[in-house]
Structure 1
Amino acid sequence: MITDSHGRYVSYIRLSVTDRCNLKCFYCRTDCAESFIDHEHILSYEEMLRLVKAAQTMQVRKLRLTGGEPFVRKDFLAFLGMLKEECPELDVRVTTNGTLLGGKIPALKHLGVQRINISLDTLNRDRFTKITGRDFHDRVMRAIEDCLHYGLTVKINAVAMKGVNDDEIGAFTRFARDYPVDVRFIEFMPIGGCSHWKREYTLPASDILDRAREEADLTPIERHADTDGPARLYSIDGGTGRLGVISALSDHFCDTCNRLRITSDGRLRTCLFSDKEYRLRPILRSPKLDDEALLRVMTRATLSKPLGYKLLEHLQGNSVCSKVMSSIGG
C-alpha cells in the first residue's frame, strides 16, 4: 500500500472509460469549443484491465468506472465481464447519468456490480431538459426504480446550484425519506477552463443541510475514513434512505482522500483540482516496458499527491484546472 507525503494511502481508483456523453449538463459544459479525445488515444479495454490489475498490487480495493457517460462506449458490459473474470475480489462500481440503463440492470447485477451512482440534478422533467439539454428525465427515474427492484445499492448525485435547483432540496430530502437511496448533494465545483461556474451559483453544504432540516430531522452518521467516500451522511428520521453532502469547497476532506483518477486516454491525475498528469499510455503501448514501469510511475505520482484545498486557495477566474469534468472522469 502506497502512502503519500501527507500520510494518505490509495485504495480507490476512478477510471474514465470515455470522455463522451449523451447529455450536455450546465455544470459540466463550457463556453469553449467542444472537443473529444481522438479514438486512437483512448485506452483499449485490455489496456484498462492491465492498469487495474497493476493497481491491485498496490492494494487498490475499489474501482469506480466513470465517463463522460460509460454506457456510451461500445461493449462496456463486456468490459465489466472482463473485470469480473480477471479481478474477482475487486469492488467494481459505476457512475452513470442513468439514461442508457434500460434493459441492462439484470446484466449489471450478473456481472457483479452491486452499487451504482446515478447523476440526477432535478426531480422536475422540464428543469431536467433545461439542465441537461435532453428530455430523458423519465428514463432516469425508471432506471432508479429498476436498480432498486433488482437489489442494487443506489446513490443519487445532485449538483446543488443556487438559483438553478436549490428550491428542490426539500423534494430530494422527501425522496430519500421515501426510497432506500442515498441522495448526495455536491457543491458546484470550478472545473474546466471556460466553465459556467460562478461564486453566486455556489451553495455551501451548511446551507443545504439547513434547508433539508426544514423538511426532516437529520442525524449524522459516523464516517469511517478507510472505507467511506467523501460524503458526510445523515439518517432521516422515519426514512428509508439517507442524505449526504460533498463539500469540496466549503469544508474540504483532503485529509482522507484515498483515490487516484485515470482518464480515458491513460493520464493519471492524483487530485481533481490539479492539472498535473502522469502519462501511462506510452508505457502500456511500449513493448519494452512492463508493469513494473507502470507501478513506478503510479507510486511516484502518489508520493507527490497534493492537497486540493491548497489549490483552491489560489483560484482565479472560474476554474481551478483547465480540463472539463467529463474528460477527467469526475
Structure 2
Amino acid sequence: MNRDTSPPAPQLADGFGREVSYLRVSVTDRCNLRCVYCRPVHDFHELNHKDLLSYEEYLRVIRLAAPLGLTKIRLTGGEPLARRGFPDFLARVMDAAPGLDVRLTTNGTLLGPQAKMLASLGLRAVNISLDTLDRESFHRITGMDLYAQARSSIEASLEAGLRVKVNAVAMRGVNDHELPGFIELARTLPLDMRFIEFMPIGGGTTWDESRFWPASEILESARRFADLTPVEPVKGSHGPARMWKIEGGQGRLGVISGLSGHYCLSCNRLRLTCDGKLRPCLYSDKEYRLRPLLRSPRTSDGKLLEVLRRALARKPMGYKLLDERHKRAVCSRAMTAIGG
C-alpha cells in the first residue's frame, strides 16, 4: 500500500500555539438597525464606500488564507444583506473556497425573501440576531419597527433548509423576563437558541454592569422551564457556545459566556473588518492594515501572508485585557465596525 508522504497542509497559528481555522469577514459597517449594544449612542459615522474593501479584495484574502487550514468563513457586518451585490459575492466565495463551511450572520430583517435563493447558492447555515420576541421591545432595542420581518426570517430559513441559530444578547432588565418565550421557541422549532453575555465592547454603547446577566443565572432560570441535558461538544470544535438539549423539544438552548467564563484558550478565529484591517482579538484594538497592501500593485501574495502571520503571532489572550480594564469597555471600535 502506498503511503501518503506529502507534507501536511500549512497551518495558521498564533504565538500561543492556537491554530486559527475560522475567518470572520465583515462586508459592511452599514446596518438598517441601531441596536443599543452594537453602535455608539452618539457620533457614529459610516465609512465612505471607497474606504470599504471591494469584493475582489475580500476574495483575494480568502483565496490566500483558505489553503492554510481554514475550515469556516462567516460573512457578517453591519448587516451583510444591506450591501449591494451580496448574493453574487456569496456565490464567488463558494467558488473561491470550495469545501469550506460558509455561514452568514444577519439581523434577519432582509433575509426572509432571500433565504431560498441564498440556500441555492450553497449557504447551509445562518445566525439570526433576535434579542426579543416582543415588537415594542424590538423597537426600543433596535430603534426600528422591523420585528415582523426579523421574526419571519426564522421560518423562511428553516423552510429553505438552512440550519438556524438564533442569538440574543442577554441583558438584565431588558429581555431576561422573556426567557420562557425563547425556550418555547427552541422547543417548537428545530433551531439553536443561544444567549450571548452582554460584553463591554466598543466605547459609547449602553454597556452597564447592572445589565449584565451571566450565563450561570440564565441556565439556573432556564431549568425552571425545561429539562435540559448537556450536549457534548463535537470533537475538534472550538465554538464558544455550551449547548443543552431541551427534553421533548425540537431545538437546543445554549449560552456564550464571553465575560464570566472566557474561551480564549481555544480561540480559533481571525477577523477581517470592512475597512480592510486584520483584527486578531475581539477585545483588543490592535489591528493590521491590509487595505493599502491590497491596493498596491507591488504587493505580492507572499507579503500579504507575511502580514497575516505577523498579526497572528501577536494575537493576545483577550481575558487578560478584560481583567486589566476591570470589565469596562475594552476596545474603542463599535461592534458594527468590528464584525462581531
TM-score by length of 2: 0.95
In the alignment, the residues of structure 2 paired with residue 41 and residue 89 of structure 1 have an alpha-carbon distance, to the nearest angstrom, of 30
Please give the secondary structure, in 2, of the residue aligned with 1:313.
helix
**CA apart distance, 1:104:** 0.8
Choose the corresponding residue for 1:110, options 114, 117, 120: 120
Q: Percent of pairs identical after alignment?
A: 54
Choose the corresponding residue for 1:305, options 315, 322, 337: 315
Choose the corresponding residue for 1:252, options 252, 262, 265: 262
In the alignment, the residues of structure 2 paired with residue 226 and residue 17 of structure 1 have an alpha-carbon distance, to the nearest angstrom, of 28
- 2:300 alignment counterpart: 290
CA contact (8 A) 2:23 2:72 kept: yes
Say if 2:52 is the partner of 1:42. Answer: yes
Alignment of 1:184-223 (within 5 A): 184-223=194-233
In the alignment, the residues of structure 2 paired with residue 65 and residue 14 of structure 1 have an alpha-carbon distance, to the nearest angstrom, of 6
- 2:240 alignment counterpart: 230
- 1:79 alignment counterpart: 89
Say if 2:107 is the partner of 1:91. Answer: no
Say if 2:17 is the partner of 1:17. Answer: no
Say if 2:160 is the partner of 1:179. Answer: no
**CA apart distance, 1:193:** 1.3
Choose the corresponding residue for 1:67, options 71, 77, 82: 77
Q: Which amino acid aligns with 1:242?
A: R
Q: Which amino acid aligns with 2:161?
A: G
TM-score by length of 1: 0.97
Cα separation, partners in 2 of 1:270 and 1:325, compared to 1, 3 Å? same
**Number of residue-to-residue matches in the alignment:** 330
Which stretch of the first structure deviates more once superposed, 143-152 or 313-322?
313-322
**CA apart distance, 1:224:** 3.7
Which stretch of the first structure deviates more once superposed, 245-254 or 80-89?
80-89
Deviations 1:168-189 (A, max 9, x none): 1121111111110000000001
- 2:159 alignment counterpart: 149
**CA apart distance, 1:27:** 1.1
**CA apart distance, 1:87:** 2.0
Cα separation, partners in 2 of 1:320 and 1:41, compared to 1, 3 Å? same
Gaps of 5+ in 2: 1-10
In the alignment, the residues of structure 2 paired with residue 282 and residue 263 of structure 1 have an alpha-carbon distance, to the nearest angstrom, of 14
Q: Which amino acid aligns with 1:272?
A: L
**CA apart distance, 1:86:** 2.5
- 1:32 alignment counterpart: 42
In the alignment, the residues of structure 2 paired with residue 96 and residue 72 of structure 1 have an alpha-carbon distance, to the nearest angstrom, of 10
Please give the secondary structure, in 2, of the residue aligned with 1:88.
coil
Deviations 1:15-47 (A, max 9, x none): 000001000011113233111122111000000
CA contact (8 A) 1:193 1:318 kept: no
In the alignment, the residues of structure 2 paired with residue 29 and residue 69 of structure 1 have an alpha-carbon distance, to the nearest angstrom, of 12
Deviations 1:148-205 (A, max 9, x none): 1111100000000000111111211111111100000000010111121011010110
Please report the RMSD computed on the Cα atoms of aligned residues, expressed in angstroms. 1.2
Structure 1 stretches (4+) deviating beyond 3 angstroms?
none
In the alignment, the residues of structure 1 paired with residue 260 and residue 339 of structure 2 have an alpha-carbon distance, to the nearest angstrom, of 22
In the alignment, the residues of structure 2 paired with residue 241 and residue 176 of structure 1 have an alpha-carbon distance, to the nearest angstrom, of 5
Which stretch of the first structure deviates more once superposed, 74-83 or 307-316?
307-316
Q: Which amino acid aligns with 2:225?
A: E
Choose the corresponding residue for 1:165, options 134, 154, 175: 175
**CA apart distance, 1:315:** 1.6
In the alignment, the residues of structure 2 paired with residue 204 and residue 221 of structure 1 have an alpha-carbon distance, to the nearest angstrom, of 20
- 1:241 alignment counterpart: 251
Choose the corresponding residue for 2:288, options 268, 272, 278: 278
**CA apart distance, 1:57:** 2.5
In the alignment, the residues of structure 2 paired with residue 322 and residue 259 of structure 1 have an alpha-carbon distance, to the nearest angstrom, of 20
In the alignment, the residues of structure 2 paired with residue 315 and residue 123 of structure 1 have an alpha-carbon distance, to the nearest angstrom, of 33
Alignment of 1:257-268 (within 5 A): 257-268=267-278
In the alignment, the residues of structure 2 paired with residue 273 and residue 261 of structure 1 have an alpha-carbon distance, to the nearest angstrom, of 12
Deviations 1:205-249 (A, max 9, x none): 000001111100111111246324110111111111000000000
